[in-house]
Amino acid sequence: RWQQYQPAQKDWVTTDRIVYHITGGRGGGYRSYTFKRFIKSGEWRVRIETESEQLLGTLHFTVKEVPARAYELVTILR
C-alpha cells in the first residue's frame, strides 16, 4: 500500500495498492519490490501487508523535486 502524507489532513492517504505474490524465502527473510512512476514530491511510506491487511513492514522515504540538468552535446569529427 503506497501512501503519501497530506499535511493539510495530518494523515497518510493511500494512492495505490499494488498486489503481488511472495513465495519461498531465504535465510535472511523475504525480498521483493514494487515501483511507481510519476511520483509526487513529499513524504511517502509503503506498507507491506498480507491479503488480510496484517502489517509485515513499513518503508518511509522522502521524494524531492530537483531541477533538470542541462547537458552539452559535443560532436567530435575525425
The model's pTM is 0.73
Say how many Å lie between the first and final Cα of the chain, rounded: 54
pLDDT in tens, 9-66: 999 999 999 888 777 677 777 777 888 888 999 999 999 998 899 998 999 999 998 8
| Residue matched to cell numbers 511517502 | 44
In this structure, what are the phi and psi dihedrals at residue 13, rounded to the nearest 5 degrees?
Answer: -115, 125
User: In the chain, where are the structural domains located?
Assistant: 2-63
For 45, half-sphere exposure in the C-beta direction (CA atoms, 13 angstrom radius) is: 14
| Residue 46: all three cell numbers together | 509503503
For 18, half-sphere exposure in the C-beta direction (CA atoms, 13 angstrom radius) is: 13
